[in-house]
Amino acid sequence: MNDPKMDAFANELIIDRQAAIDEPLLPSLAQLTQWVGCVFAHHPDDQRREVTIRFVDEQESQSLNHEYRGKDNTTNVLSFPFESPPGLDIPLLGDLVICHAVVAQEAHTQGKPIEQHYAHMVVHGILHLMGYDHIDDQEAEEMEQFERDLLSELNIPDPYSDSNDH
């Protein structure tokens, strides 16, 4: 990171990186810190600086997706925002659960480097934890544009572009 604003937020983050799979292509803690820090640099008033990012296999992804979303399939990223009980001030933003097999397959299909697709999934998931959504078209366009802007700061091409020139 060469942006002092991003560096400042990255230094305040607590990221619990969990790898429930043995996979050499998983993002490092340094990469996760850079990507999450980029989002927080645009949300300086958000004091929830702790997040868990767990990398899982297809079975765990499908099980969690079925249990919490009623969908019996794997998915790339699941976001679980933390809601602090009244009177308790805990700086936990929430949990991201990322299925490596799905992310790897999507990156391959879309002709993207896996690292860039992981960055997109982490940024996307953190935005969900912060309350962004894409249920309706206007919300989707706003969230996607914010993702484009953030990823551009990380020198990552538009993830929604139809171009495969990555």
pLDDT of residue 87: 85
**CA 20 to chain CA centroid, nearest Å:** 17
8 Å CB contact between 51 and 36: yes
Closest CA to 156 of 144, 146, 166: 166
Q: Provide the pLDDT confidence category of residue 1 given band limits of 50, 70 and 90.
A: very low
SS3 91: coil
**Taking residues 43-62, what's their average pLDDT?**
92
- What mean pLDDT is reported for the chain? 89
pLDDT of residue 95: 96
Task: State the Cα torsion 97-45-153-31 to the nearest 10°.
Answer: -40
pLDDT of residue 65: 96
pLDDT exceeds cutoff 70 at 48: yes
Q: Which helix (H) or strand (E) holds 116?
A: helix 114-129
Q: Provide the pLDDT confidence category of residue 85 given band limits of 50, 70 and 90.
A: confident
Q: Which residues pair with 17 in a beta bridge?
A: 53
Closest CA to 65 of 55, 74, 53, 76: 74
pLDDT of residue 3: 55
pLDDT of residue 139: 86
pLDDT in tens, 87-146: 888 888 999 999 999 999 999 999 999 999 999 999 999 999 999 888 888 888 999 999
8 Å CB contact between 26 and 3: no
pLDDT of residue 103: 98
pLDDT exceeds cutoff 50 at 164: no
pLDDT exceeds cutoff 60 at 74: yes
pLDDT of residue 9: 52
